[in-house]
């Protein structure tokens, strides 16, 4: 049982709660999620099982898409409606002003992580410090907003779709837009529509079924390791080569020159797969293929960063 199941996280559960429930239903030894969702949020939460937990950091780096609703005129300590109200405003802003403020957020921007977030300070999550009344000033971080599309404005609520990079806080986005408008704002609902190539139409709800039925559904829709990371160049290898990689072999130019395409450059990530489609390893190119003919074939061509056990995906 090695793969990823896409869960449609319900509101009110933490991401950790979802992982624990999936792990219990399937009887998995190891499980973890990629891209934490706050308890109030719903939508796409990929859960990695057993060998797939080794892929978590690669899957977490993907861009995300959300459907968010912002409440104008209200500010809270958590930047969403779950927190304590810290400010109110009766100022009314126009539709044009709202759209203009949102458009200013598109591109590479800087965000200060919320006080109530999982970002760590001296090894401790900020939200734990905040609960003890300790507010830490953290440095702004660069994130990228690819687009914002306004879906509905029914004052004082504004619903919009947003595509963004890893590490973007939609709560902070709403608060920053509220500051631009001069009325304040907070997040009042959030649904993740996409995480990388995982979309909401692939997601499985956890409610309304018996454990046995849910286990069958989760297993039936589990994505095998070989189907993950579709954007990485796949290098098909023989079983003997796969065994060498699992034993710690770092691929040389001689070993992979007949397998790799000519366009690979230094720093490109690749995946080695068996002829049966099982994921064997993930590697980073340390020598561009264009240089293969100019160097000693015993030189290292790629650095293995993850190896997967010889099990069925």
Which are the catalytic amino acids? 38
Map tokens 């986005």 to a residue: 173
Q: Residue 238 corresponds to which tokens in the numbers above?
A: 């023989």
* Cross-strand bridge partners of residue 3: 49, 224
> What are the b/e assignments for 49-72, b being 16+ CB within 10 Å?
bbbbbbbbebbbebebbbbbbbbb
- Spatial contact of 199 and 3, defined as CB atoms under 8 Å apart: no
Map tokens 């489609």 to a residue: 277
CB atoms within 10 A of CB 18: 20
What is the phi/psi pair of residue 256, to 5°?
-120, 0
- Spatial contact of 206 and 100, defined as CB atoms under 8 Å apart: no
Q: Residue 100 corresponds to which tokens in the numbers above?
A: 């203009």
């Amino acid at each position: 049982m090695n793969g990823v199941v896409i869960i449609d996280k319900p509101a009110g559960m933490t991401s950790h709660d979802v992982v624990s429930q999936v792990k219990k239903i399937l009887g998995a030894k190891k499980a973890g999620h990629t891209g934490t969702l706050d308890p109030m949020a719903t939508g796409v939460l990929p859960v990695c099982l057993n060998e797939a937990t080794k892929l978590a950091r690669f899957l977490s780096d993907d861009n995300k898409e959300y459907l968010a609703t912002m409440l104008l005129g209200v500010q809270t300590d958590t930047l969403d409606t779950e927190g304590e109200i810290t400010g109110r405003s009766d100022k009314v802003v126009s539709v044009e002003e709202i759209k203009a403020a949102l458009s200013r957020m598109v591109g590479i921007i800087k965000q200060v992580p919320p006080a109530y977030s999982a970002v760590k300070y001296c090894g401790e999550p900020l939200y734990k410090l905040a609960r003890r009344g300790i507010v830490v000033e953290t440095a702004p971080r660069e994130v990228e907003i690819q687009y914002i599309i306004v879906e509905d404005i029914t004052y004082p609520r504004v619903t919009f779709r947003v595509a963004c990079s890893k590490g973007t806080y939609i709560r902070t986005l709403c608060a920053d837009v509220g500051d631009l408008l001069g009325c304040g704002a907070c997040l009042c609902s959030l649904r993740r529509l996409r995480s990388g190539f995982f979309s909401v139409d692939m997601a499985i709800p956890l409610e309304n079924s018996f454990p046995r039925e849910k286990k069958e559904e989760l297993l039936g829709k589990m994505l095998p390791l070989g189907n993950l990371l579709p954007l990485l160049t796949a290098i098909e290898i023989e079983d003997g080569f796969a065994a060498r990689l699992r034993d710690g072999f770092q691929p040389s130019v001689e070993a992979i020159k007949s397998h790799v395409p000519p366009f690979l450059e230094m720093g490109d990530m690749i995946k080695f797969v068996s002829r049966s489609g099982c994921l064997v390893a993930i590697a980073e190119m340390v020598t561009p293929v264009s240089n293969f003919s100019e160097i000693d074939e015993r030189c290292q061509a790629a650095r293995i960063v993850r190896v997967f056990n010889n099990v069925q995906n």
